[in-house]
Amino acid sequence: MDLSILYRGPLSSCNYGCEYCPFAKHSETAAEHKEDERALNRFVSWVSNRDADNISVLFTPWGEALIRKRYQQALIKLSNMARVQKVVIQTNLSCSLNWIDACDKRKLALWTTFHPTEVSRASFVARCRELHERGVRFSVGVVGLKEHAGEIEALRRELPATVYLWVNAYKHEPDYYSVEDIERFKAIDTLFPINNKNHDSLGRACRCGESVISVYGDGSIRRCHFIREEIGNIYIDDLREVLRERRCSNRTCGCHIGYVHMDHLKLYQIYGDGILERIPKG
């Protein structure tokens, strides 16, 4: 069985304070960190015992995880497991990168994000160049706020040409972008218009729940992060009885990690093996 898992544990803290970011603004207690570590270690152990499955993992923490050593160790362990095909994590890239040398870099990829209000462009680009030199596959993203357009254009010029820079559309305000704004961001990211809409999804075929699932710290399974219904638990249920084709029950889907798995959009043809790390083919 080939299975992609989006894992999100109890972690809900971040070392950045971006106003536009939906991630939780929470300072965790030592006990909460311990619970997150316990859940993470249990998940990694479960993956290690799935000898008959080919598993890919994308960590989508509700905060910044890579500043925590436990997540660095989890990526090291997972990337070195024979049946793990790929391990990816969303990160603001503010952590040390030395742990990467212990990973199987053929399987490791990073989904990185630049936050202009929290870090200088020069510092972020230096980190990206270090990743590039270490031979790590990664994408770079930034929220497409209009006031940051010049900074995003400068980032595109300074990143290695082979690195994909994606722009996440800001959807909190209706009609936020003018035609000129859209063209400006499209010149940076040709896939921006796809992200700049909420896709009709009700009743549409989606790989979520069949070959892609979201897993939480207690092992509960949802078909994706955006449908709250639980369909099982990895520590209790036989996945062969849980996984099946399911039509989307939401009216629309506006987040990349959701709509990218909708069949009618044909985005697997665009991203190929780079679905989880958000890197298009070519």
Q: What does the pLDDT profile of the chain (282 residues) look like in tens digits? A: 899 999 999 998 776 777 767 665 677 889 999 999 999 999 999 999 998 789 999 999 998 999 999 999 999 999 999 999 999 999 999 999 999 999 999 999 999 999 999 999 999 999 999 999 999 999 999 999 999 999 999 999 999 999 999 999 999 888 999 999 999 999 999 999 999 999 999 999 999 999 999 999 999 999 999 999 999 999 999 999 999 999 999 999 999 999 999 999 999 999 999 999 999 997
Tokens of 126: 């230096």
Instruction: Report if residue 120 sits inside a domain.
Output: yes
Strands 137-143 and 246-247: unpaired
Cα distances from 73 to residues 66, 80, 91, 280, in angstroms, run 10, 11, 15, 28
Instruction: Report if residue 76 sits inside a domain.
Output: no
Cα distances from 3 to residues 55, 230, 244, in angstroms, run 5, 17, 12
pLDDT value of position 24: 58
Instruction: Report if residue 34 sits inside a domain.
Output: no
Instruction: Report if residue 238 sits inside a domain.
Output: no
Instruction: Report if residue 186 sits inside a domain.
Output: yes
Domain hosting residue 177, numbered range:
114-195
Tokens of 253: 């889907």
Please tell me the total count of domains within the chain. 1
Instruction: Report if residue 171 sits inside a domain.
Output: yes
Instruction: Report if residue 51 sits inside a domain.
Output: no
Instruction: Give residue for tokens 């994706």.
Output: 224
224 close to 216: Cβ distance less than 8 angstroms: no
Instruction: Give residue for tokens 């230096």.
Output: 126
192 close to 167: Cβ distance less than 8 angstroms: yes
Instruction: Report if residue 64 sits inside a domain.
Output: no
Instruction: Give residue for tokens 């500043």.
Output: 67
Any idea what the Cα angle at residue 90 is, between residues 262 and 104, rounded to 5°? Answer: 100
Q: What is the Cα–Cα distance from 142 to 114, expressed in whole angstroms?
A: 5
Cα distances from 188 to residues 140, 153, 160, 225, in angstroms, run 12, 7, 14, 28
